[in-house]
A = this chain, B = another copy of it.
Amino acid sequence: MTDSDNLQLSRRRLLGTVGAAGAAGLVVGAAGGAGIAAALPGDDTVGAGGAPALTTVGSTAVMFHGKHQAGITTPLQSRGHLVAFDLAPGSGRKEAAALLRRWSATANVLMSGKAPAQDTGVALDAGPSSLTVTFGFGRTFFDRTGLTSRRPAGLDPLPAFSADALDPRRSEGDLWVQIGADDALVAFHALRALQKDAGDAARVRWQMNGFNRSAGATAKPMTARNLMGQVDGTGNPKPSDPDFDRRIFVPAGGAQEWMAGGSYAVVRRIRMLLDDWEKLPLDRQEKVIGRRKSDGAPLTGGTETTELDLDKRGPDGKTVIPDNAHSRISAPEQNGGAAMLRRPFSFHDGIGADGTPDAGLLFVCWQADPLRGFVPVQRKLDRGDALSAFIRHEASGLFAVPGGPAEGEYVGQRLLEA
């Protein structure tokens, strides 16, 4: 067998094996005619030279149908779009139902790597690239559709936080769509297709673009880093935790049965004041967070996943992890076990009007109940987090994300057609 044969075999095997070991809810395989070609990079065309052929980056497809919507426990994708829509004047429940039906059909087609009718072609050649599309309803949706009585308590407005500097034009919205993919053109393609589906029924209220690390860029699967350079997401609950479902997903049998299997997304555009942050010496940055920058380990020692020793004191008698350290204040054990699943994208929109980088975190967190997830933690952070001097919450949204659709069903059907 030549090296080249070997390589082809290996790559097929690689795809198959990784597929089997992949995260729950993922189907690895070629879709939409994008065969798993093991072409070697013998072509010296600029733009193609050393690039590997379709790998799991492109071939991974996420299922649209299921108990929960995709894009919640799906591994972080390298590219994302968050979009809020408002129903157009004159659009009510009927138009909203038709829109969700169109959107669901399109999301299903796109997530399997196929092209919708009258396609723009932007995603041609590419595999599904782990595309996910996730739909949610904002508080205002229910009045506009005559469904006020079915609005869940989980959509009660978030309390005001003293450090908030929210721009209402980039906050909230009747409908929310989260798009994620491991290819920027695949994500953009989905964004345009869904915008087109909106037609006259809804208008874009705001839209934000984000990104995460590329698959394969790190030596091993790592917890993400944010644009401050911090390991970010260490304390996240894991789908294998016994109480994961209870904390993240709405159980059946609640006051609003249509939300069974759903979750609440809190979305915050958190600007990072990077010019200020980067002037801070490393040891002071680490005290702000309470963790080492290099590997995310607590300042009290160990590795990234070692628990914080909140009582440990240094030679100066002070706690090693300062009282206002971000990791202390946000630690679940300090918040009655509150847990949310943070699944953010970084953003970078160039240079802001004030001359500083318009960059930071598109914070997206998931929980069965915002009053037990985001709210208590943010209340505490708002009071005394050392990090707050270096960030600014510029926009906010709270959305009810219904459970995943069964085959033949569209997202939100249990609300809109009950």
Contact = CB atoms under 8 A, between A and B. Distances in A.
Interface string A107-129: 00000000000111110111101
A125 B78 contact: no
B49 A75 contact: yes
A222 interface: yes
A330 interface: no
A60 B53 contact: no
A57 B52 CA distance: 8
A229 B124 contact: yes
A162 interface: no
B218 A45 contact: no
B18 A42 contact: no
Contacts of A219: 30, 34-37, 39, 53-54, 58, 125, 127
Contact of A45 (B50, B238, B293): B238
B58 A55 contact: no
Nearest to A215: B51
A213 B76 contact: no
Chain A residues touching B, range: 35 or more
A217 B75 contact: no
Interface in A244-288: 274, 278, 282
A334 interface: no
A220 B37 contact: yes
A23 B50 contact: yes
A418 interface: no
Contacts of A208: 350
Contacts of A165: none
Given A7-B13, A183-B217, A185-B213, 5 more contacts: A9-B10, A47-B233, A78-B184, A121-B225, A184-B212
Interface of A: 3-4, 6-7, 9-11, 13-14, 17-18, 21-23, 26, 28, 30, 34-37, 39-58, 60, 73, 75-76, 78-79, 118-122, 124-127, 129-130, 182-186, 188, 192, 196, 204, 207-209, 211-225, 227-230, 233, 236, 238-240, 274, 278, 282, 293-294, 341, 343, 346, 348-351, 357, 359
